[in-house]
Amino acid sequence: MNLRINKYLSECGIASRRKSEELVEQGRISINGKIISDLSVKIDTEKDVVAVDGEKIKFEDRVYFILNKPKGYITSTSDEKDRKTVIELIKTDKKIFPVGRLDYNTTGLLLLTNDGDFSNKMTHPSNRIVREYKATLDKPLEEKDKERLSKGIILDNRKSRFSSMEFKEIKNRKKVNVTTVEGRNHFVKRMFSSLGYNVKNLERIKFGNFQLGKLRPGEYMEIKKKEIEKYIDVKGGKKIGK
């Protein structure tokens, strides 16, 4: 198989295509021992030896997983404090990484893959991928505050809002489902905190068109590449996950 260098690096899970082009321009990529600068060069996946900063990389098939992340796991490939990572929960011989992040004690839907392009599409702000969460608050949410969070408040010096808010239990205003296209760190918790609410529990139940289904905490399932293509525009020409 012949692939352009940026696609090859992305398929190897090194970086997105755009970031891969930057690696080439920085002189960090070599083919068969020779540093390259031509972004149009193609790789023979069966014969060519490609290295990043002198370290050989290997072409691997793309893999995709949905994990129901439990509490107490770091959304990372490693942790300097030696805490448990979400990578430990999935049995695979591929070098996978999380798509975006969930806080240490936030649970729910997390995607993991070795596909840099897919990860970039799902997390890039311009694609406005919808996230849905179940939030449990420390006190009932007042109607005036619900309206403010829906219309927008100032967070990080810019107007921020939830796309929708819904009480799943009519008489329990501590439990509310929220949707947002924001991927900022701790966004849901900070939105509520700005109005004096503490989020006791937070679970992500939807990310784009991906849903948790019946997965229990700590359980995962693999999604085949042909199924992934149903969820995104693999040519990158349209908005995805809506």
Residues involved in catalysis = 103
Nearest to 192 by CA among 240, 238, 232, 153: 153
Nearest to 9 by CA among 63, 47, 56, 77: 56
Determine phi and psi for 69, rounding to 5 degrees. -70, 125
Distance CA 32, CA 241 (A): 39
Distance CA 190, CA 161 (A): 11
Q: Whole-angstrom distance between the N-terminal and C-terminal Cα of the chain?
A: 33
User: Under a CB-based contact definition with an 8 Å cutoff, are residues 137 and 190 in contact?
Assistant: no
